[in-house]
Amino acid sequence: MLFERDNIIGVSKYLLLTGCGAMLFLSCSQSSDTRENSETLPVSVSEPVERDFAEIKRNGVLRMITSYSSGSYFLYKGVQVGFEYELLKAFTKENDLALEVVITGPDESPYDLLNSGRGDIIAANYTITPERKQVVEFTRPYNMVDQLIVVSDDLGFKPESISDMEGIPISVRRNSSYYVRLKELKDEGFPVNINIIPEDMDTESVLFQVADGTYEATVADDNIFDAADKYMNGLIKGPLIAESDTIAWAVRKNAPDLEYQLNRFLYKHFRFDEDGVPKRSAFLNVLRKKYFESGNQIADYYSPNYQGEQYGTISPYDNMIREVADEMDVDWVMLTAIAAQESKFNPSSVSWAGAVGIMQVLPRFSEISSDSLYIPEVNIREGAKILASHLDHYAYMDSTNKWSFALAAYNAGSGHLADARRLTIDHNKNPNEWEDVSESLLKLMQRKYYQNARYGFCRGIETVRYVNEIMNRYSTYQTILAHNREKTATGTGVLGLKTFN
């Protein structure tokens, strides 16, 4: 049985090239009782909250803790993408869940975000290490990678062994498997000079700093380096220092049901055969090729042309949406989140119901001609106009409820929302609280409720999910913008990632 092989998956071999060219194999991922572990991770939340798969299902949202990087999660022409994001999105789709992205901010510990309940799973290309296993539980692996030294070409040479790195600082985060491996090598007596850098710098960000000469060297997984090497100049691949690290998702130690469901999903996409050779599903191979082998999408995103005036921080229509939002006095980031949800910014999009354009406006509810609604600016303005009218209708509510009701009306129509509010009153609940009304929207999918409703059957689950996903996307966009402002202030470009020709 393939599951029976799990207890040996965590055993990795490390390849160290010495100065005289000999090879020494070392074990890295042994159990915590056989490996020296004198240092612990920076964790302040020691007791994880009680939130397992059943509660996640009840809430309908799985929260993904990750970093903003091409290997995990980023925006491509306004659309949410990334290897980790797409893989976990497939899991949430199978389980009828919405996926919320929680980007780790400066001075934030992903382990604290997990155990405090702000997130449910760490999906950020994490290597399984005994140090990490002290504070989280890992799923089955879904990838295997090698660690290698990467140096700046400003050094003027290609190191062939770890011994060639004597006197050269290797910059890594303390909260990384790279630090653990370098510390092991240093304890073994090899000439390793470790330079600790800020925790909010993901591997990709550090590679940019190495490429421009800010740092002389770092460590990266081979898949991340291969992807970065396609769109960064100035990187030199150095010696391999770790082989066959297992990559997995991390969950709370008291969430066995969530771990079980994730393992069932991963089993379909990544296994080991009888000889220990990894076997991947077609879906996983497509994702690997898309993000780590072809590199075209990622190269486009970080090219100077892509970051030119025709594109914005979030979408290709940032400037246009800002202008329209200012005219209509609505939040431009929320308007952008709606456009992403409705059409993925495709001006030619047409829904099954006949809604068209970026904001998916129904021609029968617009005074604008159908052909004109395919013009981005016209469509955005019409969508914003409709949204503004809904916001005005619920202006007496607090901000969160006002937006939730306006989004629900934009998606399902004011009639269905009115039915849901009347049903909420019938059940002695608050018709001005989205949490109560969303329950009524779900009830309107049942015959005993919708047969007496003025507007009949409503696909309430779609509207509830629509509101949740847009609110989650809005929060993610705000985080990305905040990161961008911070990095721009320090002169390190979009989210700290410098661009190269």
What is the rounded distance in angstroms from the CA atom of residue 10 to the CA atom of residue 74? 29
- pLDDT for 40: 63
Confirm whether 94 is domain-assigned.
Answer: no
Domain of 419 in residue numbering reads as: 318-475
Cβ atoms of residues 239 and 157 within 8 Å: no
- pLDDT for 34: 31
- pLDDT for 383: 94
pLDDT band with cut points at 50, 70 and 90 for residue 393:
very high
- pLDDT for 312: 55
Mean of pLDDT values over 401-417 = 95
Which CATH number belongs to the domain containing residue 407 in this structure?
1.10.530.10
Confirm whether 160 is domain-assigned.
Answer: no
Confirm whether 137 is domain-assigned.
Answer: no
Confirm whether 469 is domain-assigned.
Answer: yes
Structurally, the chain folds into a number of domains equal to 1
Residue 421, amino acid: R
Q: What percent of the chain has pLDDT over 70?
A: 85
Provide the CA 454 distance to its chain's centre, in angstroms. Answer: 41
Confirm whether 79 is domain-assigned.
Answer: no
Confirm whether 109 is domain-assigned.
Answer: no
Question: For this structure, is 323 an active site residue?
Answer: no
19 closest CA partner among 151, 149, 163, 157 = 163
- pLDDT for 201: 80
Contacts of 489 (CB under 8 A, 6+ apart): none
Q: Write out the two tokens for 212.
A: 């421009």
Confirm whether 334 is domain-assigned.
Answer: yes
* pLDDT exceeds cutoff 80 at 302: no
343: three-class secondary structure by DSSP: helix
**From 216, 342, 382, 469, the catalytic residue:** 342
Q: What is the pTM of this model?
A: 0.72
Q: What is the pLDDT of residues 439-475, one digit of tens each?
A: 999 999 998 998 989 999 998 988 998 998 899 889 8
* pLDDT exceeds cutoff 50 at 10: no
357: left (phi over 0), alpha (psi -120 to 50) or beta: left
* pLDDT exceeds cutoff 60 at 265: yes
- pLDDT for 487: 62
Confirm whether 289 is domain-assigned.
Answer: no
- pLDDT for 210: 93
What is the rounded distance in angstroms from the CA atom of residue 153 to the CA atom of residue 207? 12
What is the rounded distance in angstroms from the CA atom of residue 481 to the CA atom of residue 376? 23
Q: Report the C-alpha dihedral over residues 406, 410, 415, 419, rounded to 10 degrees.
A: -50
Task: Tell me what percent of the chain is helix, strand and coil, each rounded to the nearest 5.
Answer: 45, 20, 35
